[in-house]
Chain A
Amino acid sequence: MKKTVLGLMVVGLLAGCSTEQAKTNTAQDNTVRQAAKAAEPAPAPAPAVAVDPLNDPNNILSQRSVYFDFDKSIVHDEYMPMLKAHAGYLTSHGSAHIQIQGNTDERGSAEYNLGLGQRRADAVAKSLELMNVSSSQISTISFGKSKPRAVGHNETAWAQNRRADIVYQSE
């Protein structure tokens, strides 16, 4: 069973989507759209049942963000289950590649924040490498404070922006 699912996942990743029969009842518009897109060159028998584990909201792999304290790059324990799931996916999908994107809140020096965002991305990369992910599957980048997700100017927004995101290369 496991082997079958893995085989499907690799194919799916290469095609920009994948299938997993156990998650059929939670298919989202997004997944249906991707399944439909992938079906164009070689029509699949049942596109509606296709679910990408990376984008399945019920799968921990759909969680991609690690949040940080102010001026800190320590990965808190609460993110370990999520990172373990990604590590498991990456170690079992040797051709998968992720970019980890580090971000900061808007306060303070843009250049220092660029360095801080890089260190946050590197901290997440280090966690994954300690979980046996090959460093060749990971690249890191910092946007510093130039790409805030939350546009407010208060602690709620700042907390959202002190973040590193895992982005799969096919995305």
Chain B
Amino acid sequence: MLKKVLLALTGCACFWIGGTVRADMSIDITGGESSRIPVAVSPFAGSVPAAQDIPHIVGADLLRSGELSLVDVSDLNPPISQPGDARFGVFRSRGADAAVLGAVQSAGSQMTVSFRLMDAVRQNQLAGFSYSAGPADTRMIAHRIADVVYQALTGTPGVFSSHIVYVLQRGSEYLLQVADSDGYEPQTVLKSHYAIMSPAWSPDGRRMAYVSFERGHAVVYEQMMDSGRRIVLASYPGSNSAPAWSPDGKRLAVVLTKDGPSQIYLVNADGSGLTRLTFSGAIDTEPSWSPDGSQLLFTSDRDGSPQVYMMPVAGGKAVRMTFDGKYNVSPRWSPDGKSFVFVTRVSGQYRIALMNVASGQMQVLTDGHDDESPSFASNGKMILYAAGIGSRSDLAVVTVDGKTHERLSNVEGAMDSPVWGR
């Protein structure tokens, strides 16, 4: 039995996914509804499960963005699937500004999914596409539809069809996994009995750098996503960690302890040309390249407590960026280079915060106990992080305004080091 809840009216609501979808998700929304664009996502015409599943996945994606709200039209039977339907006015009368209509036709093992995004007031079409694919592609088609709808209504490219990477610890096993942006369809890239941490996607998405303890100490590997072939990028005495790709994909910043405490080095993508960048005598780690490739943000405790600093990639003076509190770590640039996310400790709790680079203004976005490893979606609108709860940590997404939170997964085990790819 499929349960649907109208989300637009309350501060907190649950959106149940049915059909072949496995898990439930909860989305917490705080703040006013008035700024959100109300959209009705009608059930699609068709007898295959995808006709029910696709609109639900689209709806969950749109809701997670925090910029759209959903208007419930699930009671209409049969669903409105054509713009010429005599009942079309119901979208407007229920408060929707836009409506998503569609149909799924199946022929053997293939299916054709067509959808239209309609202006609920003028009743004209804003966008429309048709996709042909196998049933295994149901979720990816839904994410692509959500991208089209989101961009048409907000003007910002959608990121729902992008992928995320994270480390799942299950018993004594560590799995490096890639999944859809909503945490579904996980695929294992590497399975190990030794700890894996800090995966970093190359800008072109074809390579993954990560840290593995399989040789007894932390070593940085670089793995081809298509073939699985991998090379050792850095395996010097001590720890080799925190790989970060330059925006052009030609170099990485890595953190080594071969010359003393953790320091930042630059290395070519083939492991050659190692040069040392920081000389602090303190812990310098977690480098993040600015989108233009000229600056690194990083964590350092050179002033006595771990704080975020910025310095030119070409070398030079590091400037301290964070001053509130005694623990500010894990900085990541926003895609436009105007702000960065990081982890801050507030009253003993670890939370995700955002800082504007120009103004130095800081906003705490989450209210968890042990929130870690934030990273931006490529459109700069959402932030993925690991939300710790007791012995496990879930993947979670928060919007840049801090008003919409969603826990993505309900997988057994601990999910760490999430990174949003393209």
A residues neighboring B (CB under 8 Å):
71, 106-112, 114-116, 118-119, 122, 139-144, 146-147, 151, 153
Beta-carbon contact of B195 and A141 below 8 Å: no
Beta-carbon contact of B286 and A71 below 8 Å: no
B241 / chain A contacts, CB cutoff of 8 Å: 111, 114
B364-399 CB contact bits vs A (8 Å, 1 = yes)?
000000101100000000000000101100000000
| In the complex, B52 has a CB within 8 A of chain A | no
Beta-carbon contact of B285 and A147 below 8 Å: no
| In the complex, B305 has a CB within 8 A of chain A | yes
Cα distance A107–B388 in the bound complex, in angstroms: 9
**One of B30-38, B84-92, B210-218 contacting the partner:** B210-218
B390 / chain A contacts, CB cutoff of 8 Å: 153
Which of B237, B373, B391 is close to A110, meaning CB atoms less than 8 Å apart? Answer: B373
Which of A110, A115, A144 is close to B372, meaning CB atoms less than 8 Å apart? Answer: A110
Cα distance A127–B33 in the bound complex, in angstroms: 60
Cβ-closest chain A residue relative to B260: A122
Closest CB in chain A relative to B401 CB, distance in Å: 24
Which of A109, A139, A141, A142 is close to B330, meaning CB atoms less than 8 Å apart? Answer: A109
A119-B283, A151-B391 known; A114 vs B218 contact (CB < 8 Å): yes
Closest CB in chain A relative to B237 CB, distance in Å: 8
Cβ-closest chain A residue relative to B263: A115
Beta-carbon contact of B238 and A112 below 8 Å: no
A146-B197, A153-B390 known; A109 vs B257 contact (CB < 8 Å): no
| In the complex, B299 has a CB within 8 A of chain A | yes
Closest CB in chain A relative to B301 CB, distance in Å: 8
| In the complex, B239 has a CB within 8 A of chain A | yes
A115-B261, A122-B261 known; A108 vs B238 contact (CB < 8 Å): no
Cα distance A94–B198 in the bound complex, in angstroms: 38
Beta-carbon contact of B238 and A118 below 8 Å: yes
Beta-carbon contact of A146 and B239 below 8 Å: no
B305-334 CB contact bits vs A (8 Å, 1 = yes)?
110000000000000000000110110000
